[in-house]
Structure 1
Amino acid sequence: MAAALASLNGTQKAAIVLMQLGRERAARVMAKLEESEIDEITAEIVRLESLDPRLAQGVMEEFHAVSIVGPTLVARGGLGYAQQLLESSLGVERAKLVMDRLTVTMAGQPFEFLQNADARQVLSLLSGEHPQTVALVLAHLRPEHASAILAGLPGDTQGEVAHRIALMERAAPDVVAVVAENLQRKASSVLTTQETSAVGGVQPLVEIINRADPGTEKLILEGLEARDKDLAEEVRSRMFVFTDVVLLEDRAVQLVLRTVEGGSLAVALKGTSPEVKDKILTNLSERARENILEEIELLGPTRMSAVEEARATIVQGIRHLEETGQIVIRRDGEDEYV
């Protein structure tokens, strides 16, 4: 049993610990993890169809657990347990997205060798490839990785690739095989052909753009709009931008403001609309409100790039709070929550 315990990696041990915590507590832990970590741990939970109680006990002792939930150790994981855990921590919709990605991962990833490659290396590999090929590859990568690669493409190519990712729905095995074979020759890597699976669409594109810097985000959306205005509008409607703060409930705004430094907030409010400024200022204490207004006055003329950077930082914080389930963003046109 000692040898079996020693053979486990950190992700496998984390999966076993979460299984012992029970769905409710494990869900609260997973809600605070990065999406890439959630994907990896969920994959291990799915693989753990059965688990030796002695091995689980060894992992928990190593973890120095304070207590173990329930009278016995959980000895079965599997797809059903993983699905229930994800739904408890992320909600049904986001759980489905993770499980969809997991389906591709569990079957074998044709571009696995690119997942940890430097963005510049991937750009070099994709140099000269058709935009559809680039789109197919990026749609298979993690959003944050794909975002860094997309940012390195020429400006006119970014919009074209973004457009193709948004319109992509499913990838046929023979198409993926051709692309994999081509990159295999360039990178001398062995790839596994996939069954047909969902790899693109508007939402994956939104996730990629959400992780891009403001300049890249602007270029991608402009390029996309030049090719398909309706599609660009749909992408924008799914994204959260700084001015959308007016759509947040007051409690959510207050939670967001706790994470923002006064200096950054003052810069972000420079030149913004009265509606946005009022939404934020009314959710500050009287003293904090006076300080922010004074800081705005003292700033004087401010470069737009600095303003956009400050706003982007706040938006990233808002997106993180939404991803972890701490706030709910009501997009324009969506039904009210009760």
Structure 2
Amino acid sequence: MDFSMTEAQDALSTVAGEILADQVTQERLRAAESGPDRFDRPLWNMLGASGLLGAGIPEALGGSGYGVLEQCSVLVALGRAVAPVPYLASTVLAASAIAEFGGSIARDRWLPGALAGETVLTAALTDETASTAEPTGDGWLLTGTKTAVPAGGIAAAFLVPADTPDGPRVFLVTPEDPRVSVRRQETVDGAGTAQLELSATPLPADRVLDPAAVEFLHTRAVLGWCALQLGITERALELTAGYARERVQFGRPIGQFQAVAQRLADAYVDVQGIRLTLWQAAWRVSEGLPSSEALATAKFWAADAGHRVAHTAVHVHGGVGIDLDHRLQRYFVAAKHAEFALGGATAHLRALGAALVHRP
């Protein structure tokens, strides 16, 4: 196992960090949050122009090459900036899945705009009801409801997993398709999510991806949330340590008080745990090795340790930590979103336990 960063990871992380430091200002964040989707379209366009949205997509398909490790590096940088762009949903999940498992029609239709930052794609991975697809003579009929679909209000296309008589498959749905309803939903961090309802929606046969796309989407989604959580908690801890050095109480910085120093030390250990388990899982995925246990471990740490770091950051900041005019509150709600996305700590700990029980 090699935890050293590749040259491409370092380069992409540096480029992303420079763009985000320049563009993700308090004013831009407030402007994005004033809309219904928490989306900074100019930033999305800029990321596309820089080539960052092509990371992980083969050069032959218009991307910049590289792979999942490089995508994770970009996600960490986006998490550090709590950037209001749907990179995980559009690039890491939807565009990557279409590039890997979609047909030439889907690739030609959706990849150019998504990689250029002109359009947004997404994947609907949560189930409120069992989503099913019934074959017809020349296509499929999809039925089901998906909630909290990321970037659902601005997405031009959705990847939707559904059960079929031959097992789960992934289908490509657009808001313009017959009997499709998209309704925006509110979330605690203002992220642009939506409810997607499919009522016997007819789709042609060329809208179905290879069956392997089902596992691909789940793997990349779990890994992506862990990478975002690393960036979120890493930066939250830096902000909190800086505040503890500057905030004076009883004649000295609060960071010199033993209780505060211990909370910060515990948070540092938690962030290192998130980092270690993320890159362990990412490396296994990048090498094509079995990764279910590593992913469950990484998501458990992202959820459990992420919870502790987020609350430590708020507690050390005191009342200012929940002030909507202070930047820390964005990291708190972002960390809570990442904590529960695709299952909280308990769900993944149970999955890990079940896997260990059945290990030979």
Same fold (TM over 0.5): no
Q: Greater strand share, 1 or 2?
A: 2
Q: Greater helix share, 1 or 2?
A: 1
Report the structure number with the largest CA radius of gyration.
1
**What is the TM-score of this pair, normalised by structure 2?**
0.24
**What is the TM-score of this pair, normalised by structure 1?**
0.25
